[in-house]
Structure 1
Amino acid sequence: MPHVLVLNASYEPLGVVPTRRALVLVLNKKAVCLEESGVLMHSATRAVPAPSVVRLTRFVRVPFRGPVPLTRRALFARDGGRCVYCGGVATSVDHVIPRSRGGAHSWDNVVAACRRCNHVKADRHVSELGWRMRHQPAPPSGLAWRIIGTGHRDPRWMPYLQPYGAEHAVARIDGISA
């Protein structure tokens, strides 16, 4: 089932929910549909267009969320699904400074890598091999990363995510910039 972007009353992105949940919010007048997905949802008495983006009618106070959690999906989104060493299709996670040598499992030390590069690098430093990374690993910032890092994306969401850093995140994912 497709997913729907949920915005606060202030148009701040809050999260992604299943279409059914978003439709219930709209039908209960707790949210307003801003973008439609083009699919009709049918009940016994009527057909309603399924939403793609909804905005809550009342402002919801969100507590401080802290840094973006380091997940495999978010890591591949940050690196655009490409190996930071050769630019090939990334299929594994690599620690720049190997954990066996005291490297941490953090945004600054973890990158996406292809199977071949990860195998060749093994538990060595990048400098020992004479390799260069296409970009230095860094933690993602901005509210858009919480949405994009879930792996659910819809082009209709981009105008609502751009003020929160989505253009850089999407460019990285689509391979437009390194």
Structure 2
Amino acid sequence: MNGKVLVLNQDYSPLAICSVNRAFLLVFLEKAELLEADQEEAIHTVDATFEKPTVIKINRYINVPYRGVVLTRQNLFKRDNNCCQYCGSRENLTIDHLIPRSRGGRSVWDNLVTACKHCNAKKGDMTPDQAGLKLARLPYRPTYIMFLRNSMGDMRKEWLNYLKASKVAS
């Protein structure tokens, strides 16, 4: 039983992604409700067949404190799709401060972008405008839901409606 299952809170907001084994156990123990099942595969035992979950909803609301995305090098690269925001290169990536630290620029989501070593050196201690560099897109603070959606390369089609609906709420 391999695969991943989207776990929703009682209010249908995305909570986590878990293994099929864990999801099946939660449904079997009636701690969660099966919302979507794999139409091509099932779980077989000696004397029974069960639907293989792809989306489940926890039966009791779980209060989750603020779910922000932690600012790390890996998360910043992930947000910027592992490519330089100036030239599009995917090699020798570094982090660039749009407003340099020497000029009071802080290490926050809105001031950091992924840049290759060449573009970062060209920019130096200037702003992108002063260095004649154009950003592919402006930096932003990703939401947890957006990060969950973007970080799952093999997202199941059954998840899309639940993740799209939660984008409005977040």
* Aligned counterpart for 1:55 among listed residues 54, 57, 78: 57
For the Cα contact (< 8 Å) 1:103–1:109, is it kept in 2? Answer: yes
The Cα RMSD (Å) is 3.1
C-alpha distance in structure 1 between counterparts of 2:73 and 2:44, whole Å: 36
Please tell me whether residue 111 in structure 1 is matched to residue 113 in structure 2: yes
Amino acid at match of 2:112: V
Alignment of 1:104-143 (within 5 A): 104-114=106-116, 116-118=118-120, 120-121=122-123, 124-141=126-143, 143=144
For the Cα contact (< 8 Å) 2:109–2:141, is it kept in 1? Answer: yes
SS at 1:158 equivalent: helix
Q: Deviations over 1:57-114 (max 9, x none)?
A: 2222x14315332244543443344432123447734222445665433211222334
Alignment of 1:76-91 (within 5 A): 76-89=77-90
C-alpha distance in structure 1 between counterparts of 2:95 and 2:11, whole Å: 39
1:24: Cα distance to partner?
1.1
For the Cα contact (< 8 Å) 1:5–1:13, is it kept in 2? Answer: yes
For the Cα contact (< 8 Å) 1:84–1:133, is it kept in 2? Answer: yes
For the Cα contact (< 8 Å) 2:83–2:93, is it kept in 1? Answer: no
C-alpha distance in structure 1 between counterparts of 2:14 and 2:103, whole Å: 39
Alignment of 1:1-178 (within 5 A): 1-37=2-38, 38-60=40-62, 62-65=63-66, 67-89=68-90, 92-96=93-97, 97-99=99-101, 102-114=104-116, 116-118=118-120, 120-121=122-123, 124-141=126-143, 143-148=144-149, 150-151=151-152, 153-165=155-167
C-alpha distance in structure 2 between counterparts of 1:116 and 1:2, whole Å: 40
C-alpha distance in structure 2 between counterparts of 1:21 and 1:165, whole Å: 26
Amino acid at match of 1:155: K
Which runs of 5 or more structure 2 residues have no equivalent in the other structure? none
For the Cα contact (< 8 Å) 1:5–1:53, is it kept in 2? Answer: yes
C-alpha distance in structure 2 between counterparts of 1:119 and 1:144, whole Å: 34
Q: Percent identity?
A: 34
